[in-house]
Structure 1
Amino acid sequence: MPISLKLPSLDDNPILLAETRSHKIAEFIQKLPFGDPISAAADLIDELQILNSQKIAFSNRLNALELYRPTAIQIYQDLLPHFSTAGMPLSKNEQAFADVAVQLWQEMAYGYKFSLVDLQNKILNINNSKVTAQVVQRAIHAIKEIALVYHLGYRSAPASLWSELHQLYFCAVQQSVEKLAVADALGNNNDSSVNLIYTQVLLMALADPQHLANADILKTDSYLSNICMHAELRPLGLIENPAGVFLVSLDSNKAPTPFAKNKELPDSKTDILLLTLGMARHIHQHIKMMREGILPNDGSLPVNAFESHFEDLLLRLIKNFGKSPKRLFSRTKKSDGVELGVGLQAAHQILHDGKYAANKAAVAINAGKPSRWQVLNVSAGGCSLRKFSSSQTSAFIGDVVAIKNSKTATWEIAVLRWANVNTLSQLDVGLELISPNATTAIAKHDVNTVEGEALLLPELSGLKQAASLLTARGFCKTDDILAFTTESNVNKIMVTKLVERTSRFERFEYNLVPVN
């Protein structure tokens, strides 16, 4: 399979010569305006563009890139908070930070790809295995970070990204360097390899980031860096159980796909398998330890794993990596319009025109104003929608949503499950309906004065769904006693069972407490 990497053209007569002297690069780095990450990134990008526009000796180019890389990582980490916690779609300012992050890693990737080309063109390419492994690992890492920025913005990575990723890995395999250890401060125990970093990119795509809250995308990225060694890349072979088996086509521009869903005959020359069942067992062990109140001492889980309910994320990941692919449900195309109230506060206000809103002073003027969305298609349990450009609504994965179409007078309750920003920057979302109606309430803790908006969802006997209480995440927990006020009465309840927790709300079953 021929290698064809995307690279900028070289200038035979550059006006500015690229700086490759170590002490001069150190002086440049020291003068960067780190307090302003966009300016610091722009300055570094300018320097990298000069480096990537000229013919430079291989050793000089690689040395310069290795000196710039820690600074690129530092600036990138300073850029991340400006867009990684934002709602969808990103604002112009937030998108500017994301675009600069992509451009920074794009230039780093160009540099390492140039280094690889230089290595490939060497007449005497002897004893360069470790250097080849290092260059390919660095290039794949840069592409990994570009993909992560796309995931955080709920955008699909360009097809060219997957094509180059697969080509780089194939190149390493051809030279038998994919398993060689590469020193990397970002790796587990400061070590990485082409295999590990490539596997991590594949696993992140399979984690279905379009269904994850942006905070969970970052957590998943970090977690996978610690456990990706338990997944296995291997040639085609006999498959007894398709669960946790994915096909990777190295001559394609696509992410890995479940082997069971592949309709074409695999090619042993360019297709390989990614096996994730071993990693799923490792995730299961982490879930078991957490349920026993034990935090693994290998650093694979964050120190606040219990407080942040990390188990929820692990349960989601084990479904992606350890089970057979889900069957797809048929959808019917539609072109209707619907009204949405996105978020608990908005849904609460819309359902009762703000009569019972807690902390009214903090309520935004337009928080309870419905926004208009286009219906793309519907299924038995939900629908997919597209946000009109005129709408100013911001949304998050896991938001509770009040939804009403033109044919009904009742607001239904749904959960925003996935999102995708297409190539035209249009935001598409998927909603799952969880209740045909809801009653608004103000919930108040029995032992303090803390109160907040809540929705009471009715019992659905046909679906064996008990009546439930929906509140902001972290507002209450099981065994709490709450007083809640509705339009018609005041009741006391005991929170009994967690039904669902998203990044935005928690839903509990409850029992009424007799009032003396």
Structure 2
Amino acid sequence: MTLDALQLDVPEALQTDSINLTELGECLRAARHEQPETGLQTVLDLLVRVNRSAMTLLERQRALQNFSDEYRHYAAPSGNPAATAQTLQLCNELAIGYKRLLLQILQGHKPSRPHLTWCLYMAQHFVAQTLLRHHQQNLEPEPSLWRDSHLLYWLGEQHDCLDEPVAAAFSPTPADTLRGLYKQSLLLALSNPPHLHPGESQRLFAALAPLAALARLLPWDAEDKSDGPLIDLQQAQPCLTYQQRPQEGHDTLRRLELGALLVALDEPAPLRSKDERELLERVHHHWLGNDQRRHPRAPQQTECRLAIGITAIHAQLLEQRPQCTQGQILDIGPGGARLLCPSHAAHSLPIGQLVLLIADSDILGLVCWRHLNSEGLHLGLRYLKGLAQPTWLRRAPSSQPHLGILQSTPKPREGWHHGLWVPHNQFADGENLWLQLPNAVSQNSLQLPPCNLASATVSRHPLELP
């Protein structure tokens, strides 16, 4: 991973003259008595000066809170092009201010998670507002805006700040977590904003607030054939184009999984206005990307069963008839299937769970999204193509066996690709193990290589077997 907080786009603090917070407050109050455009320019000039001045963390935080209050005062939509351009600049400078404050927090001693979450959220909010106002004015966003938006999300991921709720009384309404706010911007950018009518970008942003967190960003690898935009957190663009699709995965690649969000769009939502419903209905087909990237889906109404987790899959492959969960296949495609299961299965089917789909044929799969509603548990299953075999693993030839699943796919022309599925963190990378296959008399010794696909419950390790 090459991302670092120091890559945030923040101008150097070159001004050394100190800013008195009392005088700053008086200047901001006086600006409110001027003509709106004149007062807004005064606020903007003061913020530019603050952002390029050396200040203590507490001084900068108090100053930015004052400027955030001024933003609420001046941010109402205006038909004046000059005021619209000034508001865009104000959003950009507020983003710069919170990014500089974030760097000061990270350079301090053990910042508290609520404080760090709040600062990341505020920086992301004003980056999102700057992007939104670019869309409203049909302007191409500066590349640094998307680079910073991705980086702020990544920092939240690294510091476990994505799901801490933040109370922020802004308009249009932002999502209340860093995860949701980041995906609000992504979904807006994926909604083909140049084709929206005046004012619709703002209404769409607000309509996405309660929905955006349902979309999930999942690690991506070259075998992942699922639908959904592909995002590189290092790139200065919302998502990769079809031509940019890489041949192999790396740490900064994420796939935006939209399954749960698309199910939720069809659910009753009393607080969603008719205009918002129509707007979401009109734009949501853009979220999956260009038609050339989408896989055809075939509707199904097929009963199935699921063996859940390595233990149950192992027993099913040995025809030991373990307890399985009943389900229904709703549609299928080359990359996977959408299922409906009973609600009570939710506790055993988290995202990232390994399952064996038992229908006309048995297919190994990974849960990539889920959504629980009155109908039951909706699941998105990613197919893991290949032959699944039960295996036993030992740390010594005669020690207690541990269960694993071997996934094998034929190589072109000769040989096999093997992937060994084991419970996450059960074995360490590089650990020496003994592997035994069904009907095999001897055991194979191996050194467990680093995993190439992992979730919260399982990990897959590539193997070379004789």
Candidates 82, 88, 100, aligned match of 1:114 = 100
Candidates 81, 91, 94, aligned match of 2:78 = 81
The code of the aligned residue for 1:120 comes to: L
Deviation at 1:261, TM superposition (A): 6.2
Identity %: 19
Aligned to 1:50: 49
The code of the aligned residue for 1:71 comes to: E
Deviation at 1:66, TM superposition (A): 1.5
Cα 1:107/1:310, change in 2 over 3 Å: closer
Candidates 198, 209, 215, aligned match of 1:214 = 198
Q: Is the 8 A contact 1:159 1:254 kept in 2?
A: yes
Deviations 1:206-233 (A, max 9, x none): 1110111122222111111232122112
Aligned to 1:179: 163
The code of the aligned residue for 2:252 comes to: T
Aligned to 2:120: 136
SS in 2 for 1:226: coil
Is the counterpart of residue 5 in structure 1 residue 2 in structure 2? Answer: no
Question: Following superposition of structure 1 onto structure 2, how do residues 154-169 of structure 1 map, counting pairs within 5 Å?
Answer: 154-169=138-153
Cα 1:266/1:68, change in 2 over 3 Å: farther
Deviation at 1:193, TM superposition (A): 2.1
Q: Give distance in 2, aligned partners of 1:34 and 1:208.
A: 39
SS in 2 for 1:81: coil
Q: Give distance in 2, aligned partners of 1:153 and 1:187.
A: 18
The code of the aligned residue for 1:11 comes to: L
Deviations 1:320-369 (A, max 9, x none): 23x563249xxxxxxxxxxxxxxxxxxxxxxxxxxxxxxxxxxxxxxxxx
SS in 2 for 1:154: coil
Q: Give distance in 2, aligned partners of 1:325 and 1:172.
A: 29
Q: Give distance in 2, aligned partners of 1:179 and 1:310.
A: 25
Deviation at 1:45, TM superposition (A): 1.0
Question: Following superposition of structure 1 onto structure 2, how do residues 386-465 of structure 1 map, counting pairs within 5 Å?
Answer: none
Q: Give distance in 1, aligned partners of 2:55 and 2:29.
A: 24
Deviation at 1:267, TM superposition (A): 3.4
Cα 1:191/1:225, change in 2 over 3 Å: closer
Q: Is the 8 A contact 1:283 1:318 kept in 2?
A: no
Aligned to 1:486: none
Q: Give distance in 1, aligned partners of 2:118 and 2:161.
A: 9
The code of the aligned residue for 1:326 comes to: D
Aligned to 1:147: 131
Question: Following superposition of structure 1 onto structure 2, how do residues 348-387 of structure 1 map, counting pairs within 5 Å?
Answer: none
Cα 1:241/1:54, change in 2 over 3 Å: same
Cα 1:81/1:239, change in 2 over 3 Å: farther
Aligned to 2:239: 256
The code of the aligned residue for 1:107 comes to: E
CA RMSD across the alignment? 2.7
Q: Give distance in 1, aligned partners of 2:289 and 2:16.
A: 57
Q: Is the 8 A contact 2:173 2:209 kept in 1?
A: no
Deviations 1:485-516 (A, max 9, x none): xxxxxxxxxxxxxxxxxxxxxxxxxxxxxxxx
Q: Is the 8 A contact 2:175 2:209 kept in 1?
A: no
Candidates 285, 308, 317, aligned match of 2:283 = 317
Deviation at 1:48, TM superposition (A): 1.0
Q: Is the 8 A contact 2:114 2:164 kept in 1?
A: yes
SS in 1 for 2:231: strand
Structure 2 unaligned runs (5+)?
Answer: 294-466
Is the counterpart of residue 36 in structure 1 residue 74 in structure 2? Answer: no
135-144 or 274-283: bigger deviation:
274-283
Deviation at 1:181, TM superposition (A): 2.0
Aligned to 2:189: 205
The code of the aligned residue for 1:44 comes to: V
Q: Give distance in 2, aligned partners of 1:202 and 1:194.
A: 13
Q: Is the 8 A contact 1:188 1:226 kept in 2?
A: no
Deviation at 1:74, TM superposition (A): 2.4
Cα 1:48/1:310, change in 2 over 3 Å: closer
The code of the aligned residue for 1:319 comes to: H
Structure 1 unaligned runs (5+)?
Answer: 83-92, 290-295, 329-516
Cα 1:231/1:316, change in 2 over 3 Å: same
Question: Following superposition of structure 1 onto structure 2, how do residues 278-297 of structure 1 map, counting pairs within 5 Å?
Answer: 278-285=260-267, 289=268, 296-297=269-270
SS in 2 for 1:314: helix
Q: Give distance in 2, aligned partners of 1:324 and 1:269.
A: 22
Aligned to 1:277: 259
Q: Give distance in 2, aligned partners of 1:249 and 1:190.
A: 23
Cα 1:324/1:113, change in 2 over 3 Å: closer
Q: Give distance in 1, aligned partners of 2:133 and 2:112.
A: 32
Q: Give distance in 2, aligned partners of 1:276 and 1:264.
A: 21
Q: Give distance in 2, aligned partners of 1:48 and 1:118.
A: 17
Aligned to 1:19: 20
Deviations 1:8-60 (A, max 9, x none): 2223532xx32334xx5554443333673322211111221221121111122
Aligned to 1:326: 291
Deviation at 1:182, TM superposition (A): 2.0
In the superposition, the TM-score normalised over structure 2's length comes to: 0.57
The code of the aligned residue for 2:190 comes to: L
Cα 1:206/1:239, change in 2 over 3 Å: farther
Q: Give distance in 1, aligned partners of 2:289 and 2:59.
A: 49
Aligned to 2:85: 99
